[in-house]
A and B are shown apart, each in its own frame.
Chain A
Amino acid sequence: MDLGNVAIQLLSGMTVAGYLFMVSAGMTLVFGAMRVINIAHGSFYMYAAFIVAAIVGKGTGASGMFWVALLVAPLIVAAMGTATEVTIMRRIYTKEHLTQLLATFALFYIFADVALQIWGGAFRSVQAAPVLTGQVNVLGRSFPKYNFFVMGVAVVVGVAMWLLLQRTKLGWRIRAAVEDPELLAATGTNVRLLFTTVFTIGALLAGVAGAVVAPLVSVAPGLDAGILVEAFIVAVIGGLGSIAGAAIGAIILGLFQAIGILWVPTWASAFTYIAMILVLAVRPWGLLGTPER
């Protein structure tokens, strides 16, 4: 096991952590404010990847299309989020957990079938913009340049989320809603509108992740379920409702997977669950979460 290989695996782990963070940040934000686990959250991620594939595929040769796709896909997905919130989600916030699960599970299936109708079941690969393709030398090994881009975007998203929540009135409102939505309404905030905004931001985050990840994966049906499980594990490890927790959870999961690949490659995927079991055994409410209020 040489140092170069270790470095490459750790960097790969951090790449995974990057997009997992973005997806679970959205999921945990929505849960924090509205107390709903959205099973269809991964669908937003998959749609963004498909939209990027569709836009880039059409504009073969025009490298600028990749950047256009990267900008447009998350916005389309955010609009999907708004529509979903207004038509379905806002009706189930006060319902029991089982109803919420069934409703969002149904949404998951509907989104999956609609995607299949639009884009079919074939695998698509996406070519990133030329600036981002190619390899970088890391301790004598080559490592894709694009992975650094993914990590960079995740850091930017993380900082933006932090600024939003700490420095803006919208962010304070979101944090206040996590604590006491009723009181927030009584102090003059339109909580219904706030919830639509929060859900839209959540979908946007999943959309950014899906768009950015498109060149790294085979864009195909099933992306939604795969990311959902991992993002959920990340959110649970970090503590549902905590954005910082999602960041830490994503890094833990990414690094555990990297260690798994280095150590026992055939069992690498089991490391995801081992990470979760270890954390939850010590802190059932997650690293930065709080015990149920």
Chain B
Amino acid sequence: MMLDVREIHTYYGQSYILQGVSLTVGEGEVVTLLGRNGAGKTTTLRSVMGLTPARRGHVVLEGREITHRPTYAISRLGIAFVPSGRRIFSDLTVRQNLELAAHDGVAGEAVWTIERVHKVFPKLAELDSRRAGFLSGGEQQMLKLGRALVANPKLLLLDEPTEGLAPAVVGQLGEWLQLLKDEGMSMLLCEQNALFALRLASRGYILEKGRIQHEAPAAELRDSPEVRTYLGV
């Protein structure tokens, strides 16, 4: 088991956001977490990453409890977080963004070097010395993915990757994620765009008001009329 989230309860100050969320991601598996805005998708990822640690419950990565580890340690243990929106270091160059995130990963071997990221995203090589703040939305998405990859993670947490992207870029993003999936990368994908997510994922959870309402294989979720109307697929 790559990631095992057991009954986590997470608060923002006094607000009780996650009310006992459990989910798993197997090795090499792509799992999606679907739900409306405010359902707790981002909070789930933040709890896994240690950004908003769970007050109760457990987050276990490959058998190792990480619930209360500091975020940077969780990152070094092999989880990379791809946040939503334009969260890149806009004041730094593209290269500096990548170099800050680069490490050899837990196995001690760098599968994803900056050179390899440049091969997959040639555009990032072109923009190497450009200030990241000047990048377009699609280019920033590439940079966010590249930055996650050079950390050589075992598990990618993706928070609404399609949000705000032009349809053409969404298609391309799908291809990139498919490539990573084919390489055996484990992923937990939060999306509002259920159609996009269910094409990649093999399994999905539906989150509502801080609780998991439903879990099913992706194919089943795709065909379920309930999901279609509910998530507006």
Q: Determine if A179 and B103 form an interchain contact, defined as CB atoms under 8 angstroms apart.
A: no
- Is chain A's binding surface mostly helix, strand, loop or mixed? helix
Interface string of B143-154 (1 = CB under 8 A from A): 000010001000
Does B202 lie at the interface of the complex (its beta carbon under 8 Å from any beta carbon of A)?
A: no
Q: Determine if B81 and A176 form an interchain contact, defined as CB atoms under 8 angstroms apart.
A: no
Q: Determine if B99 and A182 form an interchain contact, defined as CB atoms under 8 angstroms apart.
A: no
Does A163 lie at the interface of the complex (its beta carbon under 8 Å from any beta carbon of B)?
A: no
Q: Determine if B99 and A187 form an interchain contact, defined as CB atoms under 8 angstroms apart.
A: no
Q: List the B residue with the shortest CB-CB distance to A189.
A: B72
Does B178 lie at the interface of the complex (its beta carbon under 8 Å from any beta carbon of A)?
A: no
Q: Determine if A188 and B91 form an interchain contact, defined as CB atoms under 8 angstroms apart.
A: no
Does A180 lie at the interface of the complex (its beta carbon under 8 Å from any beta carbon of B)?
A: yes
Chain A interface residues (CB < 8 Å from chain B): 169, 172-173, 175-176, 178-180, 182-192
Chain B interface extent, by class:
20 to 34
**Known contacts A185-B70, A188-B76, A192-B70; A178/B81 CB under 8 A:** no
Q: How far does the Cβ of B159 sit from chain A's closest Cβ, in whole Å? A: 11
Q: Determine if B75 and A172 form an interchain contact, defined as CB atoms under 8 angstroms apart.
A: no
**Known contacts A188-B151, A190-B70; A172/B92 CB under 8 A:** yes
Q: How far does the Cβ of A83 sit from chain B's closest Cβ, in whole Å? A: 22
Q: Determine if A188 and B103 form an interchain contact, defined as CB atoms under 8 angstroms apart.
A: yes
Q: List the B residue with the shortest CB-CB distance to A176.
A: B89
Q: Determine if A186 and B83 form an interchain contact, defined as CB atoms under 8 angstroms apart.
A: yes
Interface string of B58-96 (1 = CB under 8 A from A): 000000000000111101100011010001011110001
Q: Contacts of B151 on A, CB cut-off 8 Å? A: 187-188
In the complex, A182 Cα to B83 Cα: how many Å? 11
Q: Contacts of A176 on B, CB cut-off 8 Å? A: 89, 91-92, 100
Q: How far does the Cβ of B111 sit from chain A's closest Cβ, in whole Å? A: 16
Interface residues of B in 152-188 (CB under 8 A from A): none
Q: Determine if A189 and B51 form an interchain contact, defined as CB atoms under 8 angstroms apart.
A: no
